[in-house]
Structure formats: C-alpha cells, structure tokens
Amino acid sequence: MSIMESDIDMPCPICSKSGQLKMASHIDDIPYFGEHTQVTLMCNACGWRQTDFIPAEGKKPGASSLFISGEDELRARVVRSSSCTISIPELELEVSPGTSNTGYVSNIEGVLDRFIQVVEMVLKDLDDPTQVGAATRILLVLSEVKEGRGSGITVEFLDPRGHSMVLHENTVNRELTEEELESLPLGPEPPVIEK
C-alpha cells in the first residue's frame, strides 16, 4: 500500500489559511469489499480533516440493513462512506451526513458504540425527566444488543452514492426509493473543488 500525498493550492475551508491543505490518498483492497480508494483532506494549520472511501467499481445508490440479534451480526464488517445515513428504526435513531462527515471501516459493534457515545453526550445536557428516561432506555437497549440480550434491532445504511456496504450473509440489500433519493443528504461536498 503506497500513500500519495499532495499539496492543495486552496485555502482551508475551515480556517481559510492558504498553503496548509494537503490530500492523502491510497488504494487498498479491503477483504470481501474489493478495491477502495481512501482520500483524506487535512489542514496542517487547524487540524481539520475529512476522509472518504470510494469503491473502484461503480455502485448504485442503495440501502443495506441487518437485524442484530447476537455476536455474529455484531462482528459484521461495514464500510460507511461520508454520504451514508445510518438509522436504527426501532429506537428512532438516525445519523445523517453533515458538513464534516467522514467515512470509516468498522463493524456493527463499532457503529453501535458510536451511537452510544452520542446518546451519552446528549444525556449529559438533558434536564427534562421524560427525555432523560427516553435516552436512558435507548442506552439500555443498545447495551443489551451488544451483550447479545434483548429482542434485537435493525441497523440500516442508506447511501445515495452507493459507497457503503455491510458484509454479512443476512444483510438485506435493496435499491433506494425515489423518495429516499430526494430526501437523503449527500454528505459533505469535496472542498477542493469549491472556489
């Protein structure tokens, strides 16, 4: 694996300093997913960075869902691109791509850990007893699923660019509906092409 690094002749989209923006890219073969290019933009001045994974093969917009009921599903590998929305319908949780969203390679357990971290952070700022109870219940359900207890949950990956994948024999893949394609955010725009 070789990493190609180059200077980007544009100001940083966050701190606006010139001459500090770099792009690193490398091509890697991710087992069972195939060849992917990882592109990372970073600013040496403010530390901003954005990473995305782009498959070598063209992909269609799509959704992948997996019902999590035990350790086997928790180990399922995932590639989540910066354009992917992740939802857990049973808990009414959803993470949509934002302006500084990055892609990552993980497993389902790692995705659940990310949800847990966000819910714990939100819980610290809640005062309303009803909201505290709801957040605590969400944490309990997520913890039970991670421990292989409870009735299970569905984790759904919706990617209008088709760059995200879930690797498990029980994954259900489908095309996105027209409504989903219109409503799903595409994630951050590559700042190197904005002037």
Whether residue 32 has pLDDT greater than 70: no
- Given a cut of 50, whether residue 195 has pLDDT beyond it is no
- Residue pLDDT, tens place only, 81-106: 888 899 999 999 999 887 666 778 89
Residue 97, pLDDT score = 83
Q: Residue 52 — φ and ψ, nearest 5°?
A: -145, 155
State the Rg of the chain over Cα.
Answer: 18
**Which one has a higher pLDDT value, 45 or 161?**
45
| Dihedral sign, Cα of residue 34, residue 80, residue 114, residue 108 | negative
Query: In this prediction, what percent of the chain has a pLDDT beyond 70?
Result: 88
So what's the pLDDT on residue 33? 59
Instruction: Look up the pTM and report it.
Output: 0.71
Does the structure show a pLDDT above 60 at 190? no
Query: Hey, what are 22's tokens?
Result: 């770099």
| Domains assigned to the chain | 59-193 (2.60.120.1040)
pLDDT of residue 72 exceeding 90, the answer is: yes
Give DSSP secondary structure letters for 65-108: EEEE-SHHHHT-EEEE-TT-EEEEGGGTEEE---TT---EEEEH
Q: Can you say how many angstroms the Cα of residue 155 is from the centroid of all Cα atoms in its chain? A: 12
Residue 175 scores a pLDDT above 50: yes
* More confident: 171 or 54: 171
pLDDT of residue 149: 86
Residue 187 has pLDDT above 70, yes or no: no
**Residue 155: predicted pLDDT:** 97
